[in-house]
Amino acid sequence: MSVNEPDADPDDVADDGEYAALHVEDVAMVIYDRGNHRAWVQSDLAVALDGMV
């Protein structure tokens, strides 16, 4: 992952203050800590919160 902000469509980036999420090419999502570029996770699978109960 790059330290630089990605060139992404603003609709593809979710910003919740300290953390942000980026949809990558409609196949993955990266959630990262905006203050620590080494703290991130990438997944190609998402599960609704109510589906985890």
Q: For the segment 4-35, what is each residue's pLDDT rounded down to a tens digit? A: 455 455 455 566 678 888 888 878 888 899 89
Whether pTM > 0.75 for this model: the answer is no
Looking at residue 2, its pLDDT comes to 45
pLDDT tens profile 35-49: 998 999 999 887 777
4 located within any domain: no
25 located within any domain: yes
Q: Which of 19, 14, 45 is nearest to 32 (CA)?
A: 19
Q: Is 60 exceeded by the pLDDT of residue 50?
A: yes
Q: How many domains does the chain have?
A: 1
31 located within any domain: yes
15 located within any domain: yes
Residue 37: give the domain boundaries: 10-46
20, 13 contact by CB (below 8 A) = yes
Q: Which of 32, 13, 33 is nearest to 23 (CA)?
A: 13
53 located within any domain: no
